[in-house]
A and B are shown apart, each in its own frame.
Chain A
Amino acid sequence: MNLKYDVVVVGAGPAGSSTARFAAMGGASVLMIEKRQEIGSPVRCGEGIARHFLDDVGIPFDRKWVAQEVKGAKIISPAGNVLQIDERHAGNEVGIVLERDAFDKALAKLAAKAGAEIWVKTTAIGLLKDNGRVTGVRVKRLDEELNIEAGCVVAADGFESQVGRWAGVKTLMKAGDITGTLQYRLTNIDPDPDFPHYCEFFLGTCAPAGYIWVFPKDEITANVGLGISLDRLKDKMDLKRYLDAFVKKDPRMKRAQFLDMVTGGVSTCPPVKETVRDGIALVGDAARHIDPITGGGIGNGCVAGMILGKVLADIKKRGGTYSKEDLQPYERGWREEFEETLYRNWMAKNKLVSLSDEDFDKIIATLATAGIGKLSVHAMLKVIKERHPDLVERFADMI
């Protein structure tokens, strides 16, 4: 068996599969490993993504992984003020509600078609290093333990990333930059004129320093979940108490029943300082490519994966060594693409978490009457500044 590859990708989520696909497409020999027995399962996601990402990274549209297409987003304040935004302008998580398990498999298929080798039920248990340089990965595949040499190891192992930590990359977060999440997939939801046509976001103390989402999956089913910042969680099971209280209050969910329960951690931190070292690159959640305001990461993960895959293929073509210098185009590439947005949104998040329910009511009412066309932090702050200068003082440095 050939146990030497140009690229070994750890983790077969959207970021890993995109990396594997574009690296293999460009001629690199690629192995992607997944610790679970099934790619895409269990789902750990709210499953919302904006349409444009599919074009951006060349994913052919397929009904198989689309649960519901929505017209837009509704942002709802504690008092019930609603800001409705068209899908095209509603940010990176609104447009399509996915079947994530099928979506992840579709991306893995694209990687396989491009020539990547894929192993499941294979866990990375350590990194191989030589003189500080990562030279490969030790894996357990069923009952075998193997050393696999790699020009470059790609850490696409998600929020709980070990590979990055093993390589010495600082991905540690403060409590205020970690969000605990819990989601119920509820069915038998009662009809409502706008359900299932909008992705809903509920702000305020229903989810302190976070929000509650209702993403429709079909006419009677939705992902109902919430994220709360770790520094606001006081006791065990706080997340469940908040989500249960919300479900109990929503009249549509009186007779709702469970299909699924999803849990997870989400990073809401500023972009990491370094995502490449000699022989290793971090991508997706492992590189904290998640939007600190929305907690969305599928799109960014795919885009970063594409950039990394192309860079890896390019290094292969010119006979490079996958050193830190060789990998710089990836570091620069993803930063050019979305570092500023991540940083700006992290700054905005830190201020948004200080707003009261009354503040949210005022802001949403203001934005709704002003007819804001685009859901961006910058656009919203501008409108608020005109109408409520008092509210926006805290954000003054960001406008």
Chain B
Amino acid sequence: MQTELVSLRPNVRDNGIMAIDDILCMHCGACVGTCPTNAIFLNEVYLTFNEDCTQCGMCVKVCPVGAIDYPHGHRLSELK
């Protein structure tokens, strides 16, 4: 008998600008205050990026839990 994973909770939201792992995110706002172009919005517990983002990566590094990644296909993306 082989163990099978039967359900999968979706956790990464990738809008093509940046990707956020919603399970990891602590909604602390470290990225929001760091963002030089004010492209990150935190609506209580929902983080989102808009087109002002320059993919500079400051938020990726400042995020204390590593919840932010470059979008799928970006050369620095670690998304599988």
Contacts and interface: CB of A to CB of B under 8 A. Distances in A.
Tell me, yes or no, whether A binds B.
yes
A236 B30 CA distance: 14
Interface in B15-66: 26, 28-34, 36, 38, 42-44, 58, 60-66
A247 interface: no
A178 B34 contact: yes
Contacts of A239: 64
Nearest to A261: B26
A44 interface: yes
A180 B63 contact: yes
Interface string A259-271: 0011111010000
Place the interface of chain A in its size category.
20 to 34
Contacts of B68: 236
B69 A159 contact: no
A312 interface: no
Contacts of B65: 182, 237, 240, 263
A324 interface: no
Contacts of A161: 33
Given A265-B33, A265-B34, A240 B44 contact: no
A234 interface: yes
Contacts of A236: 60-61, 63, 66, 68-69, 78
B38 A234 contact: no
A279 interface: no
A264 B65 CA distance: 10
Interface residues of B, number: 24
A264 B69 contact: no
Nearest to A174: B36
Contacts of A123: 43-44
B63 A230 contact: no
Given A123-B43, A180-B30, A265 B62 contact: yes
A160 B32 contact: yes
B8 to A, nearest CB: 22
A181 interface: yes
Of B34, B36, B61, the most chain A CB neighbours within 10 A belong to B61
B61 to A, nearest CB: 4
Contacts of A172: 36
Interface in A163-188: 165, 172-173, 175, 178, 180-182
Contacts of A230: 34, 58, 61-62
Contacts of B61: 180, 230, 233-236, 238
Contacts of B31: 265
A261 B63 CA distance: 14
Contacts of B26: 261-263
A178 B44 contact: no
A263 B28 contact: yes
Given A36-B44, A230-B34, A236-B78, A180 B29 contact: no
Given A44-B28, A165-B38, A230-B58, A160 B33 contact: yes
Contact of B66 (A158, A175, A240, A261): A240
Of A175, A240, A263, the most chain B CB neighbours within 10 A belong to A263
Interface string A206-240: 00000000000000000000000010011111111
Contacts of A182: 64-65
A159 B62 contact: no
A305 B68 CA distance: 34
A235 B66 CA distance: 9
Given A160-B30, A178-B34, 18 more contacts: A35-B44, A159-B32, A160-B29, A161-B33, A172-B36, A173-B33, A180-B30, A180-B61, A182-B64, A182-B65, A230-B34, A238-B61, A263-B26, A263-B28, A263-B65, A265-B28, A265-B62, A267-B33
14 contacts: A123-B43, A160-B33, A160-B42, A162-B38, A173-B33, A178-B34, A180-B62, A182-B64, A230-B58, A237-B65, A240-B65, A264-B29, A265-B28, A265-B62
Interface of B: 26, 28-34, 36, 38, 42-44, 58, 60-66, 68-69, 78
**8 tightest A-B contacts by CB?**
A265-B30, A160-B29, A160-B32, A263-B64, A236-B66, A237-B66, A160-B33, A182-B64
Interface of A: 35-36, 44, 123, 158-162, 165, 172-173, 175, 178, 180-182, 230, 233-240, 261-265, 267
